[in-house]
Structure 1
Amino acid sequence: MSAREEILRRIERAAPGRPEAEIAASYGRIERGYLRRHHGEGVLDLFAARVADYRAAVLRVPEADLPAAVTGRLSARPGAVAVPAGLPAAWTAGARVVRDPPVRDLDGLAGAVTACAAAIAETGTIVLDHGPDQGPRALSLVPDFHLIVVRAGQVAADVPEALERLDPLRPLTLVSGPSATSDIELSRVEGVHGPRILEVLLAG
């Protein structure tokens, strides 16, 4: 029995008067044939537009130009940037980088660059599962600047499709634009809970 099933069983037991056989039958009658994909054409264009709506910069590049594009964006930063241990070395060959830095050093660096695990066109969301090419969660939260590389094949049209590609046992961070919050007067402040500047390289 999964944790979800155990929790639901306890909830149902808290409401007396329904035998477990009836409860099981009621769950079996729930229709789950919902639409899993709402977009067919133009998924990459939709993703780029939604990410831009969140005030992130989006640059589309051919796959072959990806190393030069990454190096170019990082070279524009005033100092060295953090790089996870598993990021391809060719992507940052001409930039000042610190590979796999300790957490205590992240605040003093000019930014970070990572890959991603998946992306969602419908919501303009990028998902990190903190694998070798993405590094620990602190790498994507502490530096003020974050450059994320998204491959065209990683962009799912909708949330259900993206979730099917992810490992639910891994820690997941969902990024939808730069970190931002608003006070009661709707004054927007960026960079409160994570990077103030987010740039996305969409390759392919």
Structure 2
Amino acid sequence: MSGAREDILGRVERILGTRPTSAAEAYAAIERPYRRRHHDDGILELFAERVADYRATVRRVTEAGLPDAVADALTGSRHGVPPGLPAAWLAATPPSRLVHDPAVADLDGLDGVVTGCAVAIAETGTIVLDHGPAQGVRALGLVPDRHLVVVAAGQVAADVPEALERLDPARPLTFVSGPSATSDIELNRVEGVHGPRVLHVLLVVDG
């Protein structure tokens, strides 16, 4: 390291304090004076409204009514199911319509896929997958034409900062805001270019 660079870094350290010894320390040391939450009431209603703004379908269901709601939403005969998806969600769906842990090469032949999620954001109507249990590999939510996502009420964060605190930045994250769409060509909206043309959300609430 050159003497000039060391001198500059030394001045910075004297102003900011001791240099963190690890990435985790550096991340924890970042000051976050901004507001983490802009909404305190009506979080679920706001999430449902924002999801619908993106031309997605959102339906509020109870936990007891979830199996029937999943069966109603799964149109077609072949639906991908990722590892770790709760069996209770599929209790009303005929097993013959389900393809468990499909290979990536077979995804294009599916009518749709059903997954859970890691977190959802009310302010933006966004659903985040970190591809853990019940979510599957990234391609599972991008290749089939229809994506059914089950979101528990407790997974809905009010705003982006709050949502990010619930996520592990080391995991692969996919942010979903409505069906895949682009207006790059002559400003004409085309859906399904980068992912599913249809997004259906089941929001599981109490009672």
TM band (smaller chain): 0.7 to 0.9
What displacement does 1:26 show? 5.1
Matched, 1:175 2:173: no
Equivalent in 1, 6, 19 of residue 8 of structure 2: 19
Residue in structure 2 matched with residue 37 of structure 1 by the alignment: 37
Residue in structure 2 matched with residue 5 of structure 1 by the alignment: none
Q: Aligned-pair RMSD on alpha carbons?
A: 2.0
Residue in structure 2 matched with residue 3 of structure 1 by the alignment: none
What displacement does 1:69 show? 0.9
- Partners of 1:64 and 1:107 in 2: CA distance: 32
Count, aligned residues: 189
What displacement does 1:118 show? 0.2
Q: C-alpha offsets along residues 143-196 of structure 1, whole Å, 9 cap, x if unaligned?
A: 000000000000000111111111111111000110000035311000000000
- Partners of 2:181 and 2:7 in 1: CA distance: 46
- Partners of 2:84 and 2:124 in 1: CA distance: 27
Distance 1:21-1:93 versus aligned 2 partners, 3 A rule: same
Q: What secondary structure sits across from 1:32 in the alignment?
A: coil
Residue in structure 1 matched with residue 52 of structure 2 by the alignment: 52
- Partners of 1:172 and 1:183 in 2: CA distance: 24
Q: C-alpha offsets along residues 36-82 of structure 1, whole Å, 9 cap, x if unaligned?
A: 111000111111111111100000111221122112211xx121100
What displacement does 1:27 show? 4.9
- Farther-moved stretch of structure 1 (133-142 vs 57-66): 57-66
Give 1:169's aligned amino acid: A
Q: What secondary structure sits across from 2:65 in the alignment?
A: helix
Residue in structure 1 matched with residue 91 of structure 2 by the alignment: 93
TM norm structure 2: 0.85
Q: What secondary structure sits across from 2:162 in the alignment?
A: helix
- Farther-moved stretch of structure 1 (83-92 vs 138-147): 83-92
- Partners of 1:18 and 1:70 in 2: CA distance: 62
Matched, 1:102 2:103: yes
Give 2:13's aligned amino acid: A
Distance 1:26-1:177 versus aligned 2 partners, 3 A rule: farther
Q: What secondary structure sits across from 2:64 in the alignment?
A: helix
- Farther-moved stretch of structure 1 (32-41 vs 189-198): 32-41
- Farther-moved stretch of structure 1 (57-66 vs 186-195): 57-66
TM norm structure 1: 0.86
Residue in structure 2 matched with residue 4 of structure 1 by the alignment: none
Residue in structure 1 matched with residue 138 of structure 2 by the alignment: 137
Identity %: 68
Contact kept? 2:39, 2:158, Cα under 8 Å: yes
Residue in structure 1 matched with residue 79 of structure 2 by the alignment: 81
Residue in structure 2 matched with residue 117 of structure 1 by the alignment: 118
- Partners of 2:199 and 2:109 in 1: CA distance: 18
- Partners of 1:65 and 1:32 in 2: CA distance: 40
Distance 1:49-1:18 versus aligned 2 partners, 3 A rule: farther
- Partners of 2:173 and 2:31 in 1: CA distance: 28
Q: What secondary structure sits across from 1:112 in the alignment?
A: strand
- Partners of 2:45 and 2:186 in 1: CA distance: 33
Give 2:181's aligned amino acid: A
- Partners of 2:109 and 2:181 in 1: CA distance: 21
